[in-house]
């Protein structure tokens, strides 16, 4: 749980702490699939929020995801992390497929929906992306990062008033 809490903060320091918590959990229980999945997510997010290099990190994250899925093939968060990795490799169709699988496994996985919305946005499907990130915001209305993503996508549609509302909600 501590690792997940740190992931939600989206700061360089919090993400480094998340990585350390997940690594410690794996030391304590190498068969803890959620720790492997969390490690993968923290590694990928570190490339977004810090100067950690993407290419070498994707391989490390993939190893963690592969382990998580071997331990628990039904773990939604592992499928979502796999989707992030595919997106990081610019394999957008694969990323979308993996993120949709994550959501099928857990219809309450707001992170998977947010990341799916990002992939849809990258592939110029803005209307579908906004609908998807709205669904994520409905599932987790207190998530600042989901509110920020929704605000950003609303800006792209020209809905500046609602975007500002979402940004204020994130704050």
Asked whether the whole model's pTM tops 0.85, one would answer yes
- For residues 80 and 107, the answer to whether their CB atoms sit within 8 Å is no
- For residues 66 and 46, the answer to whether their CB atoms sit within 8 Å is no
51 by Cβ neighbours in 10 Å (0-12 / 13-18 / 19+) ranks as exposed
Per-residue pLDDT of the chain (171 residues; tens, 9 = 90+): 889 889 888 899 999 999 999 999 999 999 999 999 999 999 999 999 998 899 999 999 999 999 999 999 999 999 999 999 999 999 999 999 999 999 999 999 999 999 999 999 999 999 999 999 999 999 999 999 999 999 999 999 999 999 999 999 999
41 by Cβ neighbours in 10 Å (0-12 / 13-18 / 19+) ranks as buried
């Amino acid at each position: 749980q501590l690792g997940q809490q740190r992931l939600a903060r989206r700061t360089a320091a919090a993400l480094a702490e998340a990585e350390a918590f997940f690594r410690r959990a794996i030391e304590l229980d190498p068969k803890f699939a959620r720790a492997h999945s969390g490690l993968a997510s923290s590694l990928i997010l570190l490339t977004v929020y810090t100067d950690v290099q993407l290419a070498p990190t994707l391989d490390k994250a993939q190893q963690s995801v592969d382990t998580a899925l071997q331990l628990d093939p039904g773990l939604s968060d592992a499928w979502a992390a796999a989707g992030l990795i595919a997106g990081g490799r610019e394999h957008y169709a694969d990323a979308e497929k993996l993120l949709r699988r994550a959501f099928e496994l857990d219809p309450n996985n707001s992170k998977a929906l947010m990341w799916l919305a990002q992939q849809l946005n990258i592939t110029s499907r803005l209307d579908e992306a906004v609908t998807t990130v709205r669904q994520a915001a409905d599932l987790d209305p207190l998530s600042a990062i989901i509110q920020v993503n929704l605000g950003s996508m609303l800006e792209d549609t020209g809905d500046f008033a609602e975007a500002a509302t979402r940004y204020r909600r994130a704050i």
